[in-house]
Chains A and B, each alone.
Chain A
């Protein structure tokens, strides 16, 4: 059984926490872990991320016969739900001046049995971590990441790029979006980390790996990640969902 720790922190510089994170579980059924990093507008970022998480959570809990659904069914359902969330937020942003230009990243991981289905829009990230390695599952939908992929710029140039905060896909910022999907498999020793860029921009993969993969309490690890991001400046909100075997289970193995 996986345990989940959900933490979100305003950071050191912002006055509003525009991140939102939550985990929903259907009794004896699958679990959906969601993280969203909102942006834009006066109070729009906050509104976009919390609305996205709420709607997605509700829709998930209302799914009929969740146990009879297979991977493809879930993929279809999640896609529909995200498009619905997108439309909802987009329409509000169009109509209400206060919410103009808002949007949110959205990463949701559905976990059923030892399998996971990751859906991803934006530049929040999903990692799989075990003793050996840390693996970034999602690809940032950012301006610089696409330039990087095309070979036009180097990692170094990307890290300093003035437009590194531009994201090319966000829920609610356009009429239609296409979420990415990834299938993952979890064994008893894998950790799953879902986080906003408040963490990934501040703490490098190596340090994340060290913190998550060592023995210890799951909650302590999640708190350590947030503490570290704050120590490195904490310019942005920081949110973390860490899923993994509980400490006692690990030590038994």
Chain B
């Protein structure tokens, strides 16, 4: 590829990057005499006309985008089988690389990068283009720290191919929104989700959801809450974390309505007024989707209310204050009330010039005292809402609307938020998950302490099989000691060597050990007698789960092969050595020692088969028994001299 000219005008200089399905080269455009980056698709479009057209359409639409934080696409083309597009060349690195080398970024720096990214995506969205695959690998950073997004719409267009793809070539799913994981259409809100994940990574240097396979990661995106960045980095302001939580809400309804809204939020996220922002929470009520718009409405009406006069008279008596648990339908009720008040205010413009007063700061006071103070100051406590507060004890006011020090006309209503104590949550079901270091430290971030009790069970080793507090119990996690029962796996024990056991011994061992012993096979064995164990699986002295199956093979005794017998007749001559010629005639003949060795199915030549003395020519019969395939024979030794030897095969023996 290097040195080639593509499309008649782009000379390839060197490779600068590689993705799952493409390679990027630095090239020189000889017509405009400038360096460009060329992305060449590593993909065979043969017979995939639809895909090719879709890809070209996506790439072409991306050429219409011009924005300081979007990589400019100059040209899309094909040269023979090569499909490529030509882009602005940016000297630098990917944001992924930057994060990998620089680790967690400072909050201000991360927010700065996010502002650039979100403004770019907002621009694309205004042009009707959804990126679908925002990730730091698709973001380039130049030497001055400016970032530019590339690959609009392209990667995902390509993934729609009919060709099966394996783990090694599929793209990352770390930034994929839940709706995309489900296979739904990517929307502008999917881009917002991915931006939220990128923000998380910038702040922590890590990914919020990781697992071994793509599908396991996708499942986490679908099922698990986005982890809190403040758990690991408590210095990150809540307002900053809220951006992530809001952008990555599972249900797209709760995310920013647009990239513009996200941009505005980022713009003020580090302002001092937002220092004590409450944590962003997605409501859990069943009817959540319908109630949600009311939340944003409320804050709007807070604003409009500031210019209007409500009640002309300061009531003497403490009005009965309604107490309500915070439920979204109630908030809706309040907001309707506020709408009514606002409307009243519009149609009854203030004629009386009531004087304005600052709302006293009653945060931290008990509810009754707060009401006294507000009433004294001339305000009306209309509503007292109970809600969780991590900072203030039960019964204490933790927030007022309007806030303290805001100037309001005397007689204006004030809403109190009274703490019900720390937020309790229902204990999650941890059983069935695997308890490892990672999960332990995850839990340690949530609970006051985490302890484990290890027991043997049928569940695999490391699996959580019990917990205290139990599922569904209401707890304040940071004040709770969590005790998990973790499986040690099945109890294991050593298997004895069963070789040579007979049926009774096996039965006995089965009873005492608890193993399920099964004779699965019968085999011949030369030495182990019939009915006794020859081998076992698992092997002796290995650790096996209690109650496991142990296979044994039982001996059928020695294999009875077809055997041929032959009897050899051997004549042994008596030939005493003459020791002394001069000796008188011997009275008795000198005996000679004869040893007969046999090799057959029962004997070997190592030991004599027979041994005797002779004093005359002697004939002896030697039986030889050969199994099929064996070779055998005999040897006769007389006074240490071999006098006869014969070897033959089974086949040589005549029936």
The interface of chain A, by Cβ under 8 A from chain B, is: 13-15, 37, 39-40, 42, 70, 72, 93, 101, 103, 105, 123, 143-144, 146-147, 150, 152-153, 157-158, 160-170, 173-174, 197, 235-236
Contact = CB atoms under 8 A, between A and B. Distances in A.
A162 B183 contact: yes
A152 B181 CA distance: 9
A144 B183 contact: yes
Interface of B: 20, 44, 46-48, 156, 159-170, 181-184, 213-215, 218-219, 222-223, 520-521, 537, 551
A172 to B, nearest CB: 8
Among B169, B219, B222, B223, residue most surrounded by chain A Cβ atoms (within 10 Å)? B169
A147 B162 contact: no
A15 B166 CA distance: 20
A40 B165 contact: yes
7 cross-chain pairs, A with B, having the tightest CB-CB distances, nearest first:
A161-B183, A173-B166, A103-B166, A170-B166, A146-B215, A101-B169, A13-B47
B164 A147 contact: no
29 contacts: A15-B46, A15-B47, A37-B164, A39-B165, A40-B168, A40-B169, A101-B166, A103-B168, A143-B170, A147-B181, A147-B218, A152-B182, A153-B182, A161-B183, A162-B183, A163-B159, A163-B170, A164-B183, A165-B161, A165-B162, A166-B164, A166-B165, A167-B165, A168-B214, A170-B166, A173-B166, A174-B167, A197-B164, A236-B162
B167 to A, nearest CB: 5
Among B183, B223, B537, residue most surrounded by chain A Cβ atoms (within 10 Å)? B183
Contacts of A105: 164
A243 B44 CA distance: 35
Contacts of A165: 161-165
Nearest to A38: B164
B164 A235 contact: no
A156 to B, nearest CB: 10
A115 B159 CA distance: 40
A162 B169 contact: no
A160 B219 contact: no
B241 to A, nearest CB: 26
A14 B163 CA distance: 10
Please classify the interface of chain B as helix (H, G, I), strand (E, B), loop, or mixed, using the class held by over half of its residues: loop
Contacts of A236: 162
Contact of A147 (B44, B163, B169, B219): B219
A147 B184 CA distance: 13
A197 B162 CA distance: 11
A37 to B, nearest CB: 7
Contact of B183 (A42, A163, A174): A163
B183 A158 contact: yes
Contacts of B166: 39-40, 101, 103, 167, 170, 173
A39 B166 CA distance: 8
Contact of A14 (B47, B183, B184): B47
A148 to B, nearest CB: 10
Please classify the interface of chain A as helix (H, G, I), strand (E, B), loop, or mixed, using the class held by over half of its residues: loop
Nearest to B167: A173
B137 to A, nearest CB: 17
Contacts of A146: 215, 219
B534 to A, nearest CB: 13
B214 A143 contact: yes
A103 B164 CA distance: 10
Nearest to B160: A162
Contacts of A162: 156, 159-160, 183
Contacts of B215: 143, 146-147, 166, 168
B219 A150 contact: yes
Contacts of A164: 183
Contacts of B214: 143, 166, 168
A41 to B, nearest CB: 9
A217 B219 CA distance: 46
Contacts of B222: 147, 152
A142 to B, nearest CB: 8
Given A42-B44, A144-B183, 14 more contacts: A13-B47, A13-B48, A39-B164, A39-B166, A70-B520, A70-B521, A147-B222, A152-B219, A161-B182, A162-B156, A167-B166, A173-B166, A235-B162, A236-B162
Contacts of A153: 182-183
Contacts of A15: 46-47
Nearest to B178: A152
A96 B566 CA distance: 67
A37 B166 CA distance: 12
Among A146, A166, A167, residue most surrounded by chain B Cβ atoms (within 10 Å)? A166
Contact of B218 (A37, A143, A169): A143
A193 B164 CA distance: 21
A152 B223 CA distance: 9
A165 B183 CA distance: 12
Given A15-B47, A165-B163, A197-B164, A160 B169 contact: no
B183 A167 contact: no
Nearest to B162: A235
Contact of A168 (B159, B213, B537): B213
Contacts of A42: 44
Contacts of A70: 520-521
A167 B164 contact: yes
Contact of A166 (B170, B182, B537): B170
A12 to B, nearest CB: 9
Among A40, A93, A163, A197, residue most surrounded by chain B Cβ atoms (within 10 Å)? A163
A39 B163 contact: yes
Contacts of B156: 162
Contacts of B160: 162
A18 B450 CA distance: 52
A69 B516 CA distance: 21
Nearest to B132: A162
A167 B167 CA distance: 7
Nearest to B222: A152
A174 B168 contact: yes
A238 to B, nearest CB: 13
Nearest to B219: A150
B82 to A, nearest CB: 13
A144 B183 CA distance: 9
A168 B167 contact: yes
Contacts of B46: 15
A125 B184 CA distance: 26
B40 to A, nearest CB: 13
Contacts of A103: 166, 168
Contacts of A158: 183
B632 to A, nearest CB: 27
A79 B53 CA distance: 43
Contacts of B182: 147, 152-153, 157, 161
Nearest to A156: B183
Contact of B537 (A72, A147, A167): A72
Among B159, B170, B215, B537, residue most surrounded by chain A Cβ atoms (within 10 Å)? B215
Contacts of B219: 146-147, 150, 152
Contacts of A173: 166-168
Among B44, B48, B159, B162, residue most surrounded by chain A Cβ atoms (within 10 Å)? B162
